[in-house]
Amino acid sequence: MDGKMKKLPKGFWWSVFGALVVYFVMVLIGNAREFINSLAGFSWWLFGPILLLSLANYNLRFLKWDYIMRCSSVNIKKSENYRIFMAGLAGTISPGKSGELIKPFLLLDRFQLPLERTIPVFFFERLTDFMGLILLSFIGIFLGRRDITSALILSFFMIAILFFLTNPLFWRLVFGLTGWNPKKGPFRMVYEISNNIQNFWRADVVFYTLFLTVLAWGAECTGYYLVFKGFGGAESISIIWAIFIYSASTILGAITFVPGGLGITEGSLTGLAISVGKSKSIAISSTLIIRAATLWFAVLLGILFLFKLQQDRSSCAEPQKNGVTNQLPREG
């Protein structure tokens, strides 16, 4: 692991290059001169509060991550767990944020925690992120007096799919119909993960994690709202529209499994902003500002924490085991 962590993978730099191409094309489409003028008219003092709201998102999501870990009977010092969680943000640029899967491997490397115990924590965290964003987009549609019935049906349908995909009974049915052996081959991990995730499907765990999720992503939605405030009163949008546009665009970027949602999230943010009456230059400028304050801020912080963990790893000969309990999570 040491050698592989000393430099960023080629895929990361390809993602950065792809992002630059996407942003260059967006500026050309939106008229470069108008784009520059809109940026010049932005109240840049608001960029600090927007970054703080993004930081609030990461910290609230860490509280959720730490809580799920403890529900899985894995107790690590909060300071150590925080560093690992923040290092995982380096994987935000990956497809569907799957690169954040580095967290279980960091836990394996530093605390010798088996992946069977920590990967379910990661997947449940991502599931609750997705469900929280669905709820936020539904809130935006509901308060914006849009099609409430369709939004409710869509939200229920997507959450139901997530529930079935993480339910061991569903996988037992799949294995029974196909004859696949869940204890051998590539399906072993899938079956064990679904079995362990089932331990988290308790009312108290689900409601608390969703509460933290809505607060966390609501903070970034508020940051998006402040971006439009920065262009002046005439260009501002309601907080309701900000919640819907940002959460819906984030969902679209995630489900397309494009690295960091590049192009998809930006296109959705820009298109939806134009649909509510914003000019093309303002829509593009607002998109690039919020992506800098969320996606790229997260990646930068993640890289810094990851390199710090690497330095600590190289100066420590033995893996740490302090603060870790070996008790397995209880069923039910």
Whole-structure pTM value? 0.82
Residue 231: inside a domain, yes or no? yes
259 φ, ψ to 5°? -50, 120
Listed residue (252, 53, 236) closest to 133, CA to CA: 252
The encoded tokens of residue 228 equal 């439009």
Burial group, residue 128, by CB count within 10 angstroms (0-12, 13-18, 19+): buried
- Radius of gyration for the chain, computed over Cα atoms and rounded to the nearest angstrom: 21
Listed residue (29, 51, 7, 68) closest to 295, CA to CA: 51
Residue 113: inside a domain, yes or no? yes
Q: Over the stretch 239-252, which tens digit does the pLDDT of each residue have? A: 989 999 999 999 88
Q: How far apart are CA 260 and CA 264, in angstroms?
A: 9
Q: How far apart are CA 182 and CA 190, in angstroms?
A: 8
Q: Over the stretch 178-198, which tens digit does the pLDDT of each residue have? A: 666 656 665 666 666 666 777
The SS3 assignment for 259 reads strand
Q: Look up the domain containing 110 and give its range.
A: 48-150+201-314
The whole-chain average pLDDT of the chain stands at 81
Residue 181: inside a domain, yes or no? no
The SS3 assignment for 19 reads helix
Listed residue (236, 228, 329, 313) closest to 3, CA to CA: 313
The encoded tokens of residue 306 equal 């990851």
Q: How far is CA 245 from CA 21, 153, 265, in A?
A: 23, 19, 10
The encoded tokens of residue 240 equal 């309701």
Residue 326: which pLDDT band, with cuts at 50, 70 and 90? very low
Residue 179: inside a domain, yes or no? no
Residue 127: inside a domain, yes or no? yes
Q: How far apart are CA 312 and CA 190, in angstroms?
A: 32
Residue 95: inside a domain, yes or no? yes
More confident site: 110 or 224: 224
Contact 253, 260 (CB under 8 A): yes
Asked if pLDDT for residue 332 goes beyond 60, the answer is no
> What is the number of domains present in the chain?
1
Asked if pLDDT for residue 285 goes beyond 90, the answer is yes
Residue 328: which pLDDT band, with cuts at 50, 70 and 90? very low
Q: How far apart are CA 328 and CA 325, in angstroms?
A: 8
Residue 36: inside a domain, yes or no? no
pLDDT computed for residue 14 by the predictor: 73
Residue 81: inside a domain, yes or no? yes
The SS3 assignment for 31 reads coil
Contact 140, 241 (CB under 8 A): yes
Contact 72, 193 (CB under 8 A): no
Listed residue (312, 326, 228, 227) closest to 278, CA to CA: 228
Contact 87, 301 (CB under 8 A): no
Residue 1: which pLDDT band, with cuts at 50, 70 and 90? very low
* Eight-state DSSP code of residue 74: -
Residues in the chain: 332
